[in-house]
Chains A and B, each alone.
Chain A
Amino acid sequence: MADQITQQLLEHPIFKGMSFSAISDIIRCASEKTFSRSETIFLEGENAQHCYLILRGSVDLSIHTHNRGPITIQSLHGGDVLGWSWLFSPFIWHFDAIAKEKTNTIRLDGQSIRKICQEDSKIGYELMKRFSRVMQERLMATRLQLVDMYGKYS
């Protein structure tokens, strides 16, 4: 099982290209977690303890609105990373995450990962670069959503 997780971690885009020795500490914080269709992965306001690397399946991130109910703001798939809030204080989820279908993930323990980064600045910097890159891509997509590019006056 541990070997399988190692393999999956090494193949996931977020760790791709990193050596086994570089991620050996991370492997110890990782476990497999599968969600069934419509299962809640986390809810807004809950403690953000984990980071999820999606292997297969898909997840909708949504925000609850008073008048329109839950509004889906993004769909994530195999190869994507789900969740940043475990990285930043106060470690609270800002959105709801629901599995849209059976979804296999690798769950990383947020606190342990933060500790690894704190103690080993080399790996910490590498990880931050990789996570920031994904965050930058998401931010760009969000900005495009904000532009309302299909609006009448765009």
Chain B
Amino acid sequence: MENILKSEMGFQPTQPMLPTLFTVDSKIQETHDTWSLFLNNSNGNSLQEFSPGQFNMLYAYGVGEVPISISGNCQNQNSLVHTIRNVGMVSNALCGLNQGDQVGVRGPFGTSWPMEKFKGKDVIIVSGGIGLAPLRPAVYHILNNRDDYNHVALAYGARAPEEILYPKQIMEWRSHLDLQVRVTVDSSDQKWHGQVGVVTTLIPRLNIDPDNAVALVCGPEVMIRFGVRELIKYGLDTDQIWVSMERNMKCGIGLCGHCQLGPDFICKDGAVYNYVKAERFFKTKEL
């Protein structure tokens, strides 16, 4: 609880610029270009607590450092889990790490999904592609504290069936009778028997009370914009919607200005924002 409150206020660790050495304990290939790394603190110290939605700066030695959300379970602190999509130089190096390799970790940084505030609410989780990674800790949190939340729905979209993130886990979540799990892909051949269409088309079919709902949205920015529009059409107000913003980062702690959007530093004031605040970022092109 204390941790959640601290992180909602943008809690920073004590030596934020100093990476801690972590070792890759294991690695899972999630899709053709995405891997999950399970990391252990190399000096055997216990892991830093984190809250759903927070990120770490991962340093691939000799290559560079990038922000990556924590995708594991806050209550299962055996290892630190990150799911990384290989899109460029640093993420390529991180995805190429193997068991026993070392990586520098700074964090956790940023705001979190305000799960305390959501107690007693219906919760809609809308995500697409790699956007499920920062939301997975929120799903874990809800499942760990199921009585605190009302109806819960996850709407997830991927480009194609083979690009669905965490398919086994999604199947496990589907087996929960009190969790609505809807998955769609943008297009598919006949081997896929599930839904085809963009993720926004899932929203009108959810069984959620919009008056008492909150929504957590994460994915590509286009998806967030259209997802939010559909949620508003569904009956939610902008202040019932939270989004996670992605911007390039360097320091991760509000010093360098690399992630600055208007007066905000995404690394410190975000990456999770209420949409009332985030709306202007989406409306301003090339911010």
Contacts and interface: CB of A to CB of B under 8 A. Distances in A.
Nearest to B160: A150
Nearest to B192: A72
Interface in A86-143: 100, 140-141
A68 interface: yes
A149 B195 CA distance: 17
Interface string A65-99: 00011111111010000000000000000000000
A103 to B, nearest CB: 14
Contacts of A72: 187-190, 192, 196
A60 B222 contact: no
Contacts of B226: 140, 144
Nearest to A140: B226
A70 B220 contact: no
Contacts of B222: 144, 147, 149, 154
Interface residues of B, number: 31
A145 interface: yes
Contacts of A150: 128-130, 157-159, 163, 186, 219-220, 223
B197 interface: yes
A141 B205 contact: no
Nearest to B131: A150
Nearest to A146: B186
Interface residues of A, number: 23
A149 B129 CA distance: 9
A10 to B, nearest CB: 20
Given A141-B198, A144-B200, A73 B187 contact: yes
Given A75-B195, A151-B159, A141 B223 contact: no
A74 B193 CA distance: 12
A3 interface: no
A75 B185 CA distance: 10
B201 interface: yes
Contacts of B197: 74-75, 141, 145
Interface string B83-115: 000010000000000000000000000000000
Decide if the interface of chain A is mainly helix, strand, loop or mixed: mixed
A75 B205 contact: no
A79 to B, nearest CB: 8
A149 B189 contact: no
Interface in B121-149: 128-130
Contacts of A151: 159
A154 B189 contact: no
Interface string B182-217: 001011111011111110110001000000000000
Contacts of B186: 145, 148, 150
B189 A71 contact: yes
Residue from B130, B163, B201 having most chain A Cβ neighbours under 10 A: B201
A149 B220 CA distance: 6
Contacts of B198: 141, 144-145
25 contacts: A60-B196, A69-B189, A69-B190, A70-B189, A70-B190, A71-B189, A72-B189, A72-B192, A75-B195, A77-B205, A140-B226, A141-B197, A141-B201, A144-B198, A144-B200, A144-B226, A145-B198, A149-B219, A150-B128, A150-B157, A150-B158, A150-B186, A151-B159, A152-B33, A154-B222
Given A73-B187, A150-B128, A150-B186, 18 more contacts: A60-B196, A69-B189, A71-B188, A72-B189, A72-B192, A72-B196, A74-B197, A75-B194, A100-B193, A141-B201, A144-B198, A144-B200, A148-B159, A149-B129, A150-B157, A150-B159, A152-B87, A154-B221
Interface of B: 33, 87, 128-130, 157-159, 163, 184, 186-190, 192-198, 200-201, 205, 219-223, 226
Interface of A: 60, 62, 68-75, 77, 100, 140-141, 144-145, 147-152, 154
